[in-house]
Structure 1
């Protein structure tokens, strides 16, 4: 039995967009030693496929990291199944803040070396020895403390559209870059409180443990990340210190937390915080584009890509043959096609 979905991605996306059943977008993670990730992966695939779960899951010897979409009518069945796995029993499930049910179009479970690429190579490092987990109310109190340094543990294109007030927003492409930056930042400020946050908590889980491993003492992390924070401030009616949109790694590319639009369209410079991928299959650059520019450039990042889309499919394939697109994320100064870059 094939444990992969081999159907063409475009076909699956059209099926997802036409689907009428309600879905719930859920994310969760757990650092736990998995003896045989490949065997666990196959068992998990069979269990989730039977419930029509879609999404992207990474499995490694260090644990599991999942972002999925579950049919609403099967959420309790899914929860029971997940909790039947001993190390996932009663695990916190982060429910999407703004959800149209169109977050994923297929189920993909990959075995990786790590569930979060960190570039670390230290056998004495224990990712389970984390900093202090804080809820939304505790986060706000720490944020008001002048002895606190707030650091956004996400990449530049995530914080560009939304972040906590007064947070340090590192201009980095990867988590491994961020770890070194934060370590350097805190070296001369060891008496300060380091308060970290990310999307759902998984990066801070490892980052806080790493900082403790490096000898830092006052380490705090937002439990459940921005997703859980947004839920708590709404439910408890407390002050929301996050502004803008929360970038997410699925088809939605973002969920709105506040009405503030703090970013600009990368093509015309007008206020906009909608991330898109260039429509040209040979590019797929991730960038911010307003509706007017999407119409003007046919959902492309440049006139060059727009022109390529007018060519026959075979000609387009020939142009992109042998080209390694790599991680096509927007970076200040990386793409000459981007005219308006954040300061």
Structure 2
């Protein structure tokens, strides 16, 4: 399947990877992985756990290729990460400030030992086949993301568990889903990893036919033409873009600098929204507002002195990155249009 938005050649290569695999020696693997990444000047975050690996990192093309070889072919992992979900993209500047190689008990925290995607997982559904599945009347469609993510956009007809943390998904299943009634359940998430674990959990609870979107919403938005899409709104992402739309073009959402909740244009038009200080989602949190007001004050003082405040610099860097990505996307669309017969 071809991509909906081709990427240009840029100086930094970004690798997003996850794989549920039996890694009982994760603690022993961590130092060697951290050493290789440091030697290659790779930055970003990788999480190792007995259940697998998850993370996103960036570096030169040669550095990322060396890391991929280490993980998938010739390193101490052996063949255990073969078949990992790996996505490559490009960046004009280094998108991460530092390197973190963390050891955790889970790569996706559900706190349900019976959910083990390395041993039992639902049926993967390619983005091209997703519309046909979710339009069936006998399929229950569930969004496994948290409420603030669902609020920005989701698939038509999808159920919202209204969770604030993924660990609460178990309670939703217990109270809202029934294996004797819900014979076919389809699930999705941002990149595929959460719903993969959720599908394993449902199987452990007696659900017989469980499906999940391969590559998640991001892969769907990348490869499915907008005219055929069943996704409404924008997809929240965990970086300075905040959200993306079809073709992975940056969306209109921003973050509240006080509570970090994503905000739509309608949220920013609400009377409770004060840039950098409050939004409709934290309007009653006066302690948070006081801290935000002090931060804004320090940024203003730094600006008057002609100095860069840390928070000010971070906001400006994010704004610069958003502007750059918009320009790159517009240039790519223009080239694609010019190349059409």
Q: Assess same fold via TM > 0.5.
A: yes
1:88 aligned counterpart, secondary structure: coil
The reply on whether 1:113 has 2:93 as its aligned counterpart is no
Q: Is 2:21 aligned against 1:32?
A: yes
Residue number among 224, 240, 245 corresponding to 2:215 in the alignment: 224
Q: Aligned partners of 1:64 and 1:304: how far apart in 2? A: 39
Q: Distance in 1 between matches of 2:249 and 2:240?
A: 22
Q: What displacement does 1:189 show?
A: 5.8
Q: Which residue pairs with 1:304 in the alignment?
A: 290
Return the match for 2:253 from 258, 273, 283: 273
Matched, 1:212 2:203: yes
C-alpha contact 2:179 2:206 (8 A) present in aligned 1: no
Question: Which residue of structure 2 lines up, in the alignment, with residue 179 of structure 1?
Answer: 170
5+ long unaligned stretches in structure 1: 1-20, 263-271, 279-283, 314-343
Partners in 2 of 1:203 and 1:151 — Cα distance? 12
Q: 1:296-334: per-residue Cα shift (whole Å, max 9, x none)? A: 945232663443226669xxxxxxxxxxxxxxxxxxxxx
Contact 2:140/2:186 (CA < 8 Å) preserved in 1? Answer: yes
Cross-structure match for 1:91: 84
1:63-74 matched pairs, under 5 angstroms:
63-72=52-61, 74=63
| Secondary structure of 1:93 counterpart | strand
Matches within 5 A, 1:94-173: 94-95=87-88, 103-122=95-114, 125-127=115-117, 128-173=119-164
Cα distance, 1:140 vs. partner? 1.0
Counterpart CA distance in 1 for 2:221 and 2:249 is 14
Q: Distance in 1 between matches of 2:26 and 2:248?
A: 42
Which residue number corresponds to residue 196 of structure 1?
187
Q: Is the 8 A contact 1:150 1:166 kept in 2?
A: yes
Which residue matches 1:339? none
Distance change in 2, residues 1:195/1:289 (3 Å): closer
TM-score, length of structure 1 as denominator length: 0.69
Tell me: CA distance 1:238–1:141, structure 2 relative to 1, closer, same or farther (3 Å): farther
Q: Tell me if structure 1 keeps the 8 A contact 2:42–2:63.
A: no
Q: 1:90 to 1:104 in 2, by over 3 A?
A: same
Distance 1:150 1:191, change over 3 A: closer
CA contact (8 A) 1:245 1:254 kept: yes
User: How do 1:263-342 and structure 2 match up within 5 A?
Assistant: 273-278=253-258, 284-288=259-263, 297=274, 299-301=276-278, 304-309=290-295
Other-structure match for 1:23: 12
Distance in 2, matches of 1:171 and 1:191, equals: 19
Q: 1:57 aligns with which of 46, 50, 64?
A: 46
Hey, which of these two has a bigger chunk of helix by percent?
2
Q: How many angstroms does 1:99 deviate by? A: 6.3
**CA RMSD between the two structures:** 3.2
> Is the contact between residue 247 and residue 255 of structure 1 (CA under 8 Å) also seen in structure 2?
yes
Q: Any conservation in 1 of the 2:131–2:230 contact (CA below 8 Å)?
A: yes
Cα contact 1:53–1:68 (8 A) shared by 2: yes
Distance across 1 between alignment mates of 2:150 and 2:86: 23
- Separation in structure 1 between the aligned mates of residue 230 and residue 60 of structure 2, nearest angstrom: 32
| Aligned residues of 2:221 and 2:247 also touching (Cα < 8 A) | no
How many residue pairs get aligned? The number is: 272
Distance 2:29 2:223 in 1: 33
TM-superposition CA deviations, 1:231-254 (whole Å, max 9, x none): 3325xx882222222212234333
Q: TM-score, normalised by structure 2?
A: 0.69
